[in-house]
């Protein structure tokens, strides 16, 4: 297959399409969170803390599939913003435990904002199409996970 304009990304690149959709979804999320003074990255951390009271920075990094130094920088900014508190673990002094502050707990209504994002992104889709889309994307994710684990 010959590409007419080599500067344009391949139209049938799954990675490119998923990346573009994810970027737009982040923009939609950012606009919805902006009035609440929370960034999309902070929201993801807060969702974890709204569902469980505490988590270590190391476990959070694993959960977010992100390197620990990047999570540490994000958490430092969140602490300065008054959204999280950091305390040393009682069982492992090298480990830092995060918890949501009262300021963050007051924003707990935002934990389900992904439903609003889904409504925007999936407008015009039937219930059957939505279920099929999620099923196909889960298969794509499993394939990618398997490939990464094997190599």
88 by DSSP, 3-state: which?
A: strand
The order of strands in the sheet holding 54-56 is 54-56, 96-100, 84-88
- Specify the pLDDT at position 1: 47
- Specify the pLDDT at position 6: 56
- Specify the pLDDT at position 69: 92
pTM to 2 decimal places: 0.81
Average pLDDT of each block of 10 consecutive residues along the chain (151 residues)?
Answer: 56 87 95 95 95 93 91 95 93 89 95 94 97 96 93 77
Query: Nearest 5°: phi and psi at 67?
Result: -65, 145
Calpha distance 109→87 (Å, rounded): 25
Calpha distance 29→17 (Å, rounded): 18
Burial class (CB in 10 A: 0-12, 13-18, 19+), 98: buried
For residue 54, give Cα distances in angstroms to 12, 20, 47, 49, 101.
42, 33, 11, 6, 11
């Amino acid at each position: 297959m010959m590409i007419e304009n080599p500067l344009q990304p391949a139209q049938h690149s799954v990675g490119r399409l998923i990346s573009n959709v994810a970027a737009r979804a982040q923009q939609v999320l950012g606009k919805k969170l902006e009035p609440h003074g929370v960034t999309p990255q902070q929201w993801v951390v807060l969702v974890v803390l709204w569902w469980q009271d505490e988590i270590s920075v190391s476990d959070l990094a694993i959960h977010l599939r992100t390197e620990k130094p990047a999570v540490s920088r994000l958490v430092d900014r969140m602490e300065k913003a008054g959204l999280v508190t950091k305390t040393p673990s009682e069982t492992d002094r090298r480990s830092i435990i995060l918890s949501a502050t009262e300021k963050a707990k007051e924003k707990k209504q935002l934990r389900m904002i992904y439903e609003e994002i889904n409504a925007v992104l999936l407008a015009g889709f039937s219930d059957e199409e939505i279920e099929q889309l999620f099923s196909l994307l889960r298969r794509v994710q499993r394939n990618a996970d398997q490939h990464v684990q094997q190599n």
